[in-house]
Structure 1
Amino acid sequence: MLGRSSAALLPPVDEAIASGFVVAAEHQLAFQSDFLLRGIIESIPGPARDALRREAMSLSGRRRPAADQNRRLDAAPTAPVSATREDATGSCSRAHRLIMNGNAKAGIRVAEAVLAGPAVSLAARRDAEACLVLADLLLGGEGCDPMTEAILRERDAESGDAALAMALTARSTGLWSAGKLAEGLKLGRAAVRAGSEAEPVWRLHAQLALAGKLANLREFDEAEALINEAEAGLRGLPAPIWTAATAVMRSRLLLQAGRIGEARREAALATTAVEGDAVPMLRPLAYAVLSTASFYMGDLPAAIEYLRRGQRDADRQVVLDSVQYSWAEVLITVKQEGPRAAAQLLAGKHHRLPTQRRLYVEVPSAAAFLVLLARDVDDRDLERRVLDTVNGLAADNPRIQVVSLTAMHAHALANSAPAALALIIVQSRDPISVALATEELAKLYAAQAQAGGRPATPARAEEAATPPASCWSTLSDMEQRIAYLVSVGLTNRQIAKQVHLSAHTVNYHLRKIYRKLGFNTRAELAHAAATYSSRAAIYSMSGDQDWGAGSMTGKAS
């Protein structure tokens, strides 16, 4: 297909899309999955594959691969020409490109060479300063390095100052990681304002960093608007670059919103991006999304493979720091080897994870998960560390509901408090937290019913068929909450009090739920909702092994 006109390509492209090999994204064609792409490439005989690559290079003007450019720059980082010349696309400096490619140390050397050079323009100086701040942040800085301090101390707020926008972003990220959410959010907004007139390649850092914080707080609409704005800026360049960055952040948002299929598609686009569109330093985060999404969908082999690929990339280069990498490994270890192996992981390799505040902001269900894990392995110290951390986080952020609900959920599980669990089901916007609370509340009600000599579930409920997970996505947030409350045995009047509606309105919603899911009775809905929430919950996904008598079993309960 190389060297043919666009019109001549239409029939084979249509055939590839119809066969499911290729999908049409918004601005490009992409393979359906990374596995499929690699399989196709490996199926081509070696000599033919080499010939195709040579032909592609000749058609594209024999452009030098990005990896070769990085190695050449790394070998001679202080050469005056390569220190000041823009990237081949004309959109970013070479130092900036190196950092985004995961070669932060080489980027630092190039940026320092720019600042040491004679007669440096104001724009070049600000770009080099911004590069140094970005590189320090990627190398583990918390926004407190001398360059960031100097910029924040000496610069007045000025729209278009990339270095100031980057310094504000770095300080915002440091405060956020420390659990000072309101301050971090305030500085994140200031960073976006400071960079509003900067080049799109610099605006995107402030925009995506703020979008990530808003998504953690479940402010999905505002977060998505920022991601879209950043993407529009990149695509508006004469030669669009780094579009994978927005795909990665969008995939994280979609995963947090419970839109798992969409999250997988966006993350797959990010991992298969090549040349100018690729952002190697963010690729491990996309693999973490793919791993976690695959885990939630019950595809453990894919989850393990994506985790391995992300770890391999992280070992090769500097990447964006995130708790998602270690959290995905904990989830997989629980499912693959059992809770005791996961507890050992948390006591060894990831011993800092239970006390990292940002974990409970990025993953609200993590506190509940770890409390259940601690209960199953009888680890009082783990439970104490989790509860102390979320208590401190909630105390420092009293007005942020996500944090308050996270702490309440952890304590409700530790103390078996049904009223608090019911509140989580009604108020939480995190689908995994709702699933965990629903399952635990169902167990508490079942225990109470058995103690009182009453059946735990309605007659013939076990015979009801459970619709596929995709059907539940057709329900609105209110309909899902009502279905969950039905599953734990509440009456329409009790549900009405929980969701602040009249009993008549609750009944109206129930009729819509029956119609959407194809049910006829309350018993069918109750059984299906309980089964669905169990399968969605991390602790009780269906599997082949039973790890013990605790709540964290390999088989759905």
Structure 2
Amino acid sequence: MGKLSRNVLDARYRPSSRETSWPGWRGRAREWDLVADRLRAARVGGGGVLLVEGQPGVGKSRLLDVAAITAGRWGFRVVRGVADELTQLMPLAPLTSALGEIFLPTGDGGGVSGPADRRLQLLEQLQEPLEALVAHGPVLLTLDDLQWTDHMTMLAVRSLTLDFASSPLVWMLARTTGGGDIPWLDRVFNALEREGAARVRLGALDDTAVAEVVADVLGAEPDPDVLALAGIADANPFLLVHLIEKLEREGGFRTADGRVRLASARLPSARAVTRERLEELSQPTRHMLQVAGILGRSFSVTDLAEMLGESTGDLLPMLEEAMSAGIVGSAGHELAFRHDLLWEAATEGLSTAVRQALHREAGEMLLKRGGSAVPAAAHLIHSAGPGDVCALLALDQAAREVLRSSPHAAADLATRALELTDAADPEWVSRATVVVDALTAIGRLGEAADLARRALARAPSALAHRLRCALAYILLLSGRPADAVSQAEGLLREEDISRDLRDVAEWTVFWGLITLNDVAEGQRRAEAVLSDRDGHSDTAVVGALLMLSRCAMIDGRVDDSFRHLDEALRIGNRGAVEAVQRPYTRLLLGHLHRCLCQFDAADLAIRAAEEEIETLGVTVLAAQPSLFRARVKLAAARLDDAVAEAEAGMTIADEMGTHGFIRVGLSILAYIAVRRGDINAAVRYIKRYACEPGTAGMLFGSAWERWVEAVIAESQGDLDRAMDILRGTYTDTDQQRRTLMTAPLAAVFMTRLALDTRNRAYAQTIVDTADHLARRNPGYPIFAAAAAHARGLLHADPADLAFAAANHPQTWERASAAEDLGVLLMKTGASADRERAINSLDQAHDGYQRIGALRGAARVRARLRALGVRRRHWVQSHQEEFGWNSLTDTERAVAELIAQGLTNRQAAARMFLSPHTVSAHLRRIFAKLDIASRAELARIFAEEHPDHDA
């Protein structure tokens, strides 16, 4: 495929001479090259992310402007968005704004824009319009002032950048720095940089750029005394230009022989020049701008008129003066200050008392209109004082409004209201309860628990019950199920507890007992609830059904487990179950399907849970679907997919602050590393895992993690340690059933480990339990195959091993059974058995190689060499690291769907993957094929499959 040369593209992307003289452009050649490289990549099908940052006035917005105009001239669709100080209370507002202001290329390089027809609330809704845009060619999407946005918006942006990583979409994300750190925003920017985003840090101009700016403004070469102005302005482009223009108007320069020098040694400060620009306006206009500045960088003329007690017509002369002076300009249906520094200058002269009073008036004005309290809260959070009842009630209302859609904003609002509430005020406890809910939602579980305990010490009965219920759930999420059950049980002993709280407490007890695997107590409680359904809400009934499903599963009654889950789903679909509890049923269903190797059904259940989590705003559970899905991909021997999902889940957990879930992701990565033969990597993962906080019980993490630790110990040759880790499972029949039900591979591993450590009695107990599960569940072949494999190892029975090698639904386990059969046949010494042994070992080798289980494949090759047989090492040679033949099966499947024109989301739906996993595969595909676009992928696919139907 022919490509334009770099020189031609450089010429095409060079801004015009007029653009290069704009303030903020001079001295930005290096930064522009970074932008041009990303635009160039998008022209041939690639894309990428640019992170633009710097202090006010250094030219961030100007750089975005130049990029937008240049991209528009060359056929890009340009999407522009900007956040403001209210955006943090309105999640997804920057993206909503951007997708509502779409600039399409026109003949003269200009553009047209139109208002948004809909408000986009969810990531799913954001995906479709972006996919529609990139389907028609390259797109530039700029988002400015992201320091004002909220955490959920940036998580959406982060996810979208991954989903569109292989699309011709260039993101320019700009934020102002220097006004105080925003830790979560720093983390998101750092994560984007690690994933390949280019960091564009705009700083002070160098001497050459300063000279060029001065020459642009004054039309002559500056003498050294004029260049010294850069020091006064901190070489800040915006301040420098305003300083020069101010001095020029006042006759501060003399020009002779094409050079310009200062006429006076007395110079004002650069920021004073900005203030003086406002002071040149009439007094009424300055006062109007001060009030406008309180309303925000952008403001409604209607709001401004009401604040001033004037009609819009009365404001016209002042508005025209401010616009003519370049202080404000049109911004859609509103007006906006043309720069942050002008906005700051408009209000910096206001005393704290006046500023707070104006914010208070603005908040009260917005409250009187009714409707949402969120716009008013943005003002009241700055103006409310201790005991300000009206303001505090508005903050309360706003916090409740945004709790589900923007829990970080809710936490800020509720926390501020609590700070302004006297400790003796009866409302302190109720406000603390809202803060607890918000902190729980965003994963700050330790802070939420501490505050809940403080509030409990002084709470009246009704609020105390609610706080104890919240604390029980926090403990559950924190991986402390025993403490959660104790807290909930104490609440249930109270006589005056409301029915709703009683049922939520019952649900918490059930899930805690599920985590603790306390089958007897859980079953007793569940049967009591179900025998009195009329006396309990749907929340408690669903908790009881989930408990009975788990009991049935541990007891080996799979059909009964499904029956209870199906009933719980029917009840949950009625919508009466508490929002935070509803995703659990689908996650447990996905877990059961995964245990039975019903991978498509497991994916569907997890996807449904993911949609519920997003729709219901249960953000504390945001990492769960990826982690559950990683276990499914691992069981299906799709190791690359499992890695992508585990890493995605860990990233979400890290960014949401729910660090306990990172532990599960690390244990999955450690297990995959063992399968691939990278024991050192597995040890590194498990060491990091040991340093992370305990995991949440809903993932059944403790049993899984013990299993992984034992597998790693065995892989290191430390069989005694592996046996010590699992000894409790060998000696407890209930633990055996639970382990073998939820991890069918464990039957063989534990049988082999017992035999290798000369604990034949332990091996016999495992085989007996595996046989019991197989007899109880004849409709689920995985149990018969697992039992046959374990039995074949214990009794050295080739028929059982052959049955497992032919019938086990898991690829890795079939290969393992074939290997064990080969080893058994090798020992007989018979010539006929030698050929059967070679055939079995060949089957094992092929199976291990196909799924990337390199440790197993290497072990089998060694066994074959002992028989005098050499097999080719399947790890690609240097020539096979690139090109079509280097792609894995999953990568080829993804490549085929994308080559057919499917979007990442459509391909993900076909393959039961998440879009970010498809994006991860596409990045690897592009790297292996050395391409940058979907068009090139389609061409290569067509060449490789000339007979493929389009």
Partner of 2:529: 151
State whether residues 534 and 541 of structure 1, in contact with CA within 8 Å, keep that contact through their aligned partners in structure 2: no
Give SS of 1:429's match: coil
* 1:415-456 superposed Cα distances (whole Å, 9 cap, x missing partner): 3333333332222111221111121233345556x5328975
Q: Does 1:208 align with 2:587?
A: yes
Partner of 1:407: 787
CA distance in 2, matches of 1:419, 1:157: 55
157 and 529 in structure 1: CA distance in 2 versus 1, 3 angstrom threshold = farther
166 and 71 in structure 1: CA distance in 2 versus 1, 3 angstrom threshold = same
Q: Does 1:290 align with 2:669?
A: yes
Partner of 2:505: 128
Aligned with residue 853 of structure 2, among 520, 536, 545? 536
Partner of 1:186: 563
139 and 278 in structure 1: CA distance in 2 versus 1, 3 angstrom threshold = farther
> Partner amino acid for 1:253?
V
Partner of 2:608: 229
Q: What is the Cα deviation at residue 173 of structure 1?
A: 0.9
CA distance in 1, matches of 2:846, 2:771: 31
Partner of 2:183: 53
Give SS of 1:399's match: coil
CA distance in 2, matches of 1:347, 1:331: 14
State whether residues 579 and 618 of structure 2, in contact with CA within 8 Å, keep that contact through their aligned partners in structure 1: no
Partner of 2:822: 442
CA distance in 1, matches of 2:497, 2:851: 65
Aligned with residue 446 of structure 2, among 53, 63, 67? 67
Partner of 2:545: 168
Partner of 2:748: 368
> Partner amino acid for 2:505?
A
**Whose strand proportion is higher, 1 or 2?**
2
Q: Does 1:334 align with 2:721?
A: no
Deviates more, 1:531-540 or 1:403-412: 531-540
State whether residues 364 and 433 of structure 1, in contact with CA within 8 Å, keep that contact through their aligned partners in structure 2: no
* 1:42-88 superposed Cα distances (whole Å, 9 cap, x missing partner): xxxxxx9x94529879996574644312222134446357657799x
Partner of 1:324: 704
Give SS of 1:258's match: coil
* 1:155-206 superposed Cα distances (whole Å, 9 cap, x missing partner): 1699x81111111101211221233333223222222222222244212111
Q: What is the Cα deviation at residue 356 of structure 1?
A: 0.9
Partner of 2:515: 138
CA distance in 2, matches of 1:345, 1:66: 30
405 and 229 in structure 1: CA distance in 2 versus 1, 3 angstrom threshold = same
Partner of 1:359: 739
363 and 25 in structure 1: CA distance in 2 versus 1, 3 angstrom threshold = farther
CA distance in 2, matches of 1:528, 1:371: 22
106 and 168 in structure 1: CA distance in 2 versus 1, 3 angstrom threshold = closer
82 and 414 in structure 1: CA distance in 2 versus 1, 3 angstrom threshold = same
107 and 384 in structure 1: CA distance in 2 versus 1, 3 angstrom threshold = closer
371 and 27 in structure 1: CA distance in 2 versus 1, 3 angstrom threshold = same
CA distance in 2, matches of 1:249, 1:228: 10
Aligned with residue 306 of structure 1, among 677, 682, 685? 685
CA distance in 2, matches of 1:535, 1:239: 36
State whether residues 801 and 817 of structure 2, in contact with CA within 8 Å, keep that contact through their aligned partners in structure 1: yes
Partner of 2:196: none
> Partner amino acid for 1:205?
Y
224 and 371 in structure 1: CA distance in 2 versus 1, 3 angstrom threshold = same
203 and 163 in structure 1: CA distance in 2 versus 1, 3 angstrom threshold = same
* 1:80-103 superposed Cα distances (whole Å, 9 cap, x missing partner): 57657799xxxx966534532335
State whether residues 240 and 276 of structure 1, in contact with CA within 8 Å, keep that contact through their aligned partners in structure 2: no
State whether residues 647 and 665 of structure 2, in contact with CA within 8 Å, keep that contact through their aligned partners in structure 1: yes
359 and 539 in structure 1: CA distance in 2 versus 1, 3 angstrom threshold = farther
302 and 385 in structure 1: CA distance in 2 versus 1, 3 angstrom threshold = same
CA distance in 2, matches of 1:445, 1:410: 17
CA distance in 2, matches of 1:382, 1:212: 27
State whether residues 733 and 769 of structure 2, in contact with CA within 8 Å, keep that contact through their aligned partners in structure 1: no
Give SS of 1:323's match: helix
Partner of 1:510: none
> Partner amino acid for 1:155?
R
CA distance in 2, matches of 1:319, 1:174: 15
427 and 24 in structure 1: CA distance in 2 versus 1, 3 angstrom threshold = farther
Partner of 2:935: none
Give SS of 1:144's match: helix
Give SS of 2:790's match: helix
CA distance in 1, matches of 2:622, 2:800: 42
CA distance in 2, matches of 1:27, 1:377: 51
Q: Please tell me whether Structure 1 or Structure 2 has the larger radius of gyration of its CA atoms.
A: 2
Aligned with residue 479 of structure 2, among 102, 124, 132? 102
> Partner amino acid for 1:230?
A
CA distance in 2, matches of 1:28, 1:281: 25
CA distance in 1, matches of 2:854, 2:184: 49
Partner of 1:488: 840
> Partner amino acid for 1:365?
L
> Partner amino acid for 1:137?
I
> Partner amino acid for 1:330?
A
Aligned with residue 429 of structure 1, among 788, 809, 823? 809
CA distance in 2, matches of 1:313, 1:242: 18
State whether residues 247 and 269 of structure 1, in contact with CA within 8 Å, keep that contact through their aligned partners in structure 2: yes
> Partner amino acid for 1:296?
R
Structure 1 gap ranges (5+):
13-21, 33-47, 458-484, 490-524, 550-555
State whether residues 586 and 609 of structure 2, in contact with CA within 8 Å, keep that contact through their aligned partners in structure 1: yes
Partner of 1:243: 622
CA distance in 1, matches of 2:184, 2:602: 42
State whether residues 77 and 110 of structure 1, in contact with CA within 8 Å, keep that contact through their aligned partners in structure 2: no
Q: Does 1:255 align with 2:572?
A: no
* 1:476-500 superposed Cα distances (whole Å, 9 cap, x missing partner): xxxxxxxxx99439xxxxxxxxxxx
* 1:328-348 superposed Cα distances (whole Å, 9 cap, x missing partner): 111111111343443454447
Partner of 2:645: 266
* Structural mapping, 1:365-404, within 5 Å: 365-404=745-784
> Partner amino acid for 2:794?
A
Give SS of 2:744's match: coil
State whether residues 130 and 162 of structure 1, in contact with CA within 8 Å, keep that contact through their aligned partners in structure 2: yes
State whether residues 439 and 533 of structure 1, in contact with CA within 8 Å, keep that contact through their aligned partners in structure 2: no
TM-score (normalizing by structure 1): 0.67
Give SS of 1:273's match: helix
* 1:277-322 superposed Cα distances (whole Å, 9 cap, x missing partner): 5656655433332221221122223322333444444658767544
Deviates more, 1:219-228 or 1:54-63: 54-63
Identity score, percent: 23
